Amino acid sequence: MAVRDTPIHRLHPLIKLLASLGFILIVVSFGRYSLIPMIPMVFCPTVVMALSETPYGLLLKRCALALPFCLLAGISNLVLDTGTALTLGSLSISTGLFSFLTLLFKAYLSVITVLLLVATTPIHVISEAMQRLKIPSLMITLFEMTYRYLGTLLEEASAMALAYGLRSRQQKGIELRHMGSFVGQLLLRSFDRAERIYQAMKLRGYPAAHLSPTERKVSSRDILYLVLVLGSSLIFRALDITGAVNIIERLLP
Amino acid sequence: MHMADALLSPAVGLTMGAVSAGAMALSVSRINKDDLSDKKVPLMAVSGAFVFAAQMINFTIPATGSSGHIGGGMLLAALLGGYPSFLTLSVVLIIQALFFADGGLLALGCNIFNMGLIPCLLVYPLVFRPLLKRGVSYKSLTLASILSVVSGLQLGSLGVVLETAASGVTELPLNAFLLVMQPIHLAIGLVEGIITAAILGFVHRMRPDLVEAAQSVPSTPKVTFKKVLALLAVLTVLTGGILSLYASKNPDGLEWSIEKVAGTSELSAENPLHESAAFIQDRTALMPDYDYTSENSSTIPGTSLAGLIGGGLTFLLAGVTGLVLSRIKKKKPQFTRLRENQY
Amino acid sequence: MITVENVTVSYPDKTLALRQVSFTVKEGQSLALVGPNGAGKSTLLLALVGVLLPQQGTITIDGLKVAKESLPEIRRRVGMVFQNPDDQLFMPMIYDDLAFGPRNMGFSEEKVRALVEDTLERLQISHLKKRSSLKLSGGEKRMAAIGTVLTMNPSVIVLDEPSSFLDPKARRNLIGLLGRIKQTKIIATHDLDLALEACDQAVILNKGMVAASGSPQELFFDEGLMEACQLEALKRR
């Protein structure tokens, strides 16, 4: 998914990072009840999602997995914040509902922003961007290699867990009294593996002076993207949509 | 225990980001001074991946039917030393934030502080190492593991509480939040401490050199109480200042509930076994009976029928924009699809 | 030309891994190193690239003795393919894995690209260039692991169990490739059929010592010898 070629994928990775971070900062700077003024903020992620051809279902699924913590932290607002915000006929909506929904909306926007950033930026582009940020090569190698071995060790751990499960009484998990040797085994295997990887690296000349990354200039297209994302968000942040709403209100009978 | 972006204010997020970035820069320079730094990199990377895998291993507690997973911070510190374990955990948290949407970009600073800096750069040199000074034995290893994991988690959850409170996004009163978080993390800490002790005990039996070597390497901060006090003072001033802005919004005296269900989407999709390995952390508590007087409703912007209609229309418009753009993109597919095939 | 003379290696706990091992391999030849588990095959390979240094005896590669001082040059001359490709493919992308060695040798990025592209072409895995090693099949991983060594253009290549993790077709591919690689090769393997096809000579190790050496044809079908070394002789068809 991260190796497609769309206008969003082609953007300078640093610009994308900057835009994402700025966008999240603006999102979280909205007041705790600013649900409605915040709604225009959905434009940016939605447009980026469409332009980058990122499947919406997939994003939502990933997003749903990240939301529960905010959901549960926000429940207190629902329960504790019982003022009346709005009465529609006989129905009254509490301020707690507003702050709760605001929190959830913020969570949705910030999570989807990070997901979009990663979905449109392959790992090697991320590490190139890190090099350009002058992040020490130790960190970058560490980042790349940790990412590389995640899958390998997860496979190893799940093969071990499967072998354990097939021979244990219950299928649910590792019994507490076996955790020491189970995780200890995995750890020793990992350390042995690290030793072999070190040898493999050493045999191919590691460590050597680090290379500077291939230069990549910030294009006018990148600047335009940054200005559009941050500019529109700042305008939404500064302008209250209720101003526009008043006009609608006048049109209503 | 991951903080989320939405629970933070920009000030708290950026402050903690700066503190954590500084600590990471310091660690990199310390490790680079070490002669063996090139050998440490693959070890740290594989250890990071190991922590990730270890967090997916679900264990069951006999007779209770409950299950959990370990965090692994203190385990790494015990085997790699302070600075390397801190950097390793930082990278793990960065990867979790970026690729697993666990935590968030802005919350990274908080998460690295709570789950990396506290156990590796504070608790490890102040609690773990001194307890092993007189030699590594089964007893000293067990005591050190349990004490340090418990204190690490206590401080870490305190961090979560303070950062959330200072951001003022939720209605949680500070001391009620503490009353819930601290006992839960005491229980979690005890279990993780026992497991950490068992793992270290196993490793020590199999490879005594690994455990003992780590306790003698210099790649650990020389933390004095003075430095800790200074750090605490700085943080107190920083958070205190921000906190006072919101203090009035946080009345006392109640209990609430919080529960975190952290998902591991990619894994569960790829391997059915991870369905069971996906961890669920339960933190239960009681619901409050507290009479909360809210702020004046007139402070809430856009709260009118027209406001709701306007908001709804905006949403609709955004959705339609997205749809239209997707359609346009799909109508001229040759261009992009061809390029895709190169990979 | 590789000369191994009276090499003895013992591990820190004093167990002898290799005892008085001697043999030579001529330029461009390939040698099969066979023997039961624990015979010392992997130890010998590690000694050839200087990860382990022998307590006694010498190993020379094209006249240069393997020693602490000569390690950088030795490692330029000898490439090692690990048994488990996961240990060797440690970068996020196959391209970077193949470029790792040449970059460390200080080549310009254009030269590195040319080397990598050329090697990918030779191994017929150009399509894997931008893929992560995690998602590759066993055969693809093995080809890429060999590629990481080929890009450094060594004069000697040592391979540890190259046919492990391979299905019959991938194994067939590998045998073809071994035939096309011009460098001097030492292949440690349990796969006698592969050794028979790909190697000009063979050394049988048992309990850290050379039990026999000669051509694969005369060694692998000798039931008495093979049984004495805890191996299974090949049957003539």
The CA–CA distances, whole Å, from C154 to C49, C147, C149, C164 equal: 12, 11, 7, 23
Domains of chain C: 2-83+154-228 (3.40.50.300)
In which element (H, E) is residue A84 found? strand A84-88
- Check whether A34 has a pLDDT greater than 60: yes
In which element (H, E) is residue C80 found? strand C78-81
Name the least confident of A64-68, B154-158, C142-146.
Answer: A64-68
Strands A84-88 and C16-25, by their bridges, are unpaired
CB < 8 Å from A in window 128-167 of B: 164
Q: Hey, are the CB atoms on B10 and A25 less than 8 Å from each other? A: yes
Dist CA C86 CA C198 (whole Å): 24
Q: At what angle do helices C109-122 and C138-150 cross, to 10 degrees?
A: 140
Dist CA C222 CA C224 (whole Å): 6
Predicted local confidence at residue A29, as pLDDT: 83
Please tell me if residue B333 touches chain A, with a CB cutoff of 8 Å.
Answer: no
Q: Hey, are the CB atoms on A200 and C79 less than 8 Å from each other? A: no
Per-residue pLDDT tens digits for C78-102: 999 999 998 889 888 899 889 988 9
Strands C64-65 and C2-10, by their bridges, are unpaired
Predicted local confidence at residue A53, as pLDDT: 82
Q: Hey, are the CB atoms on A46 and B321 less than 8 Å from each other? A: yes
Domain assignments of chain A as residue spans, ordered by start: 13-121+217-251, 135-203
Top mean-pLDDT range of A60-64, A128-132, B236-240, C65-69: C65-69
The stretch A25-46 carries a mean pLDDT of 83
DSSP state of C212: E
Predicted local confidence at residue B290, as pLDDT: 22
Q: Hey, are the CB atoms on A196 and C84 less than 8 Å from each other? A: yes
Predicted local confidence at residue C51, as pLDDT: 86
Nearest chain B residue to A95 by CA distance is: B297
Quote the distance between the C-alpha of residue B233 and its chain's center.
22
Nearest chain B residue to A24 by CA distance is: B106
Higher pLDDT among residues C138 and B61, named by residue = C138
Per-residue pLDDT tens digits for B61-101: 776 666 777 888 999 999 988 999 999 999 999 998 888 77
In the structure, what pLDDT confidence band is assigned to residue A240 with cuts at 50, 70 and 90?
Answer: low
Contacts of C131 in chain B (CB under 8 A): 343
Q: Are B127 and B148 in contact (CB under 8 A)?
A: yes
CA end-to-end distance (rounded Å), chain C: 34
Predicted local confidence at residue B288, as pLDDT: 24
- Check whether C35 has a pLDDT greater than 90: yes
Q: Hey, are the CB atoms on C130 and B343 less than 8 Å from each other? A: yes
In the structure, what pLDDT confidence band is assigned to residue A155 with cuts at 50, 70 and 90?
Answer: confident
pTM of the predicted protein model: 0.77
Q: Which chains touch C (3 or more CB pairs under 8 A)?
A: A, B
Q: Are C34 and C226 in contact (CB under 8 A)?
A: no
Place of tokens 């005892």: C19
Predicted local confidence at residue B255, as pLDDT: 21
Q: Which ranges of B113-207 does DSSP label H, i.e. alpha helix? A: 129-132, 138-167, 174-206
Contacts of A199 in chain C (CB under 8 A): 46, 51, 82, 87
Task: Give the residue ranges of chain B where pLDDT is below 50.
Answer: 219, 240, 242-298, 333-343
Predicted local confidence at residue B268, as pLDDT: 31
Q: Which chains touch B (3 or more CB pairs under 8 A)?
A: A, C
**How distant is the Cα of B103 from the closest Cα of chain A, in angstroms?**
8
Dist CA A184 CA B203 (whole Å): 6
Place of tokens 């990860």: C51
In the structure, what pLDDT confidence band is assigned to residue A170 with cuts at 50, 70 and 90?
Answer: low
Contacts of B45 in chain C (CB under 8 A): 90
The CA–CA distances, whole Å, from B131 to B141, B189, B193, B198, B342 equal: 8, 18, 14, 17, 57
Per-residue pLDDT tens digits for B330-343: 665 444 333 333 33
Q: Which of B21, B56, B2 is nearest to B274 (CA)?
A: B56
- Check whether C37 has a pLDDT greater than 50: yes
DSSP secondary structure of C13-36: TS-EEEEEEEEEE-TT-EEEEE-S
Contacts of A123 in chain C (CB under 8 A): 92-93, 132
Predicted local confidence at residue B217, as pLDDT: 60
Contacts of C80 in chain A (CB under 8 A): 200, 203
Out of A200, A207, A208, name the one closest to residue C88 (CB): A200
Dist CA B264 CA B274 (whole Å): 8
Please tell me if residue B343 touches chain C, with a CB cutoff of 8 Å.
Answer: yes
Q: Hey, are the CB atoms on B343 and C90 less than 8 Å from each other? A: no
Contacts of C167 (CB under 8 A, 6+ apart): C138, C139
Q: Which of C42, C62, C47 is nearest to C162 (CA)?
A: C42
φ/ψ (deg, to 5) at C77: -85, -30
- Check whether A17 has a pLDDT greater than 80: yes
- Residue C176, Cβ density class (10 Å: 0-12 exposed, 13-18 middle, ≥19 buried): exposed
Predicted local confidence at residue B326, as pLDDT: 77
Q: Which chains touch A (3 or more CB pairs under 8 A)?
A: B, C
Predicted local confidence at residue A185, as pLDDT: 87
DSSP state of B128: I
Nearest chain B residue to C130 by CA distance is: B343
Please state the length of chain A: 253
The stretch A25-37 carries a mean pLDDT of 82
φ/ψ (deg, to 5) at C2: -115, 130
Please tell me if residue C73 touches chain A, with a CB cutoff of 8 Å.
Answer: no
* Largest Cα–Cα separation, chain C: 56
Contacts of C130 in chain B (CB under 8 A): 342-343
Nearest chain A residue to C95 by CA distance is: A124
Please state the length of chain C: 237
ipTM here: 0.84
Cβ-based neighbour number of residue B240 at 10 Å:
12
Please tell me if residue C137 touches chain A, with a CB cutoff of 8 Å.
Answer: no
- Check whether C21 has a pLDDT greater than 60: yes
Dist CA C72 CA C49 (whole Å): 10
Q: Are B89 and B51 in contact (CB under 8 A)?
A: yes
- Check whether C40 has a pLDDT greater than 80: yes
Per-residue pLDDT tens digits for C41-66: 999 999 999 888 999 999 999 999 99
In the structure, what pLDDT confidence band is assigned to residue C168 with cuts at 50, 70 and 90?
Answer: very high
Please tell me if residue C108 touches chain A, with a CB cutoff of 8 Å.
Answer: no
Contacts of B42 in chain C (CB under 8 A): 90
Per-residue pLDDT tens digits for A189-222: 888 888 888 888 888 887 765 555 566 778 888 8
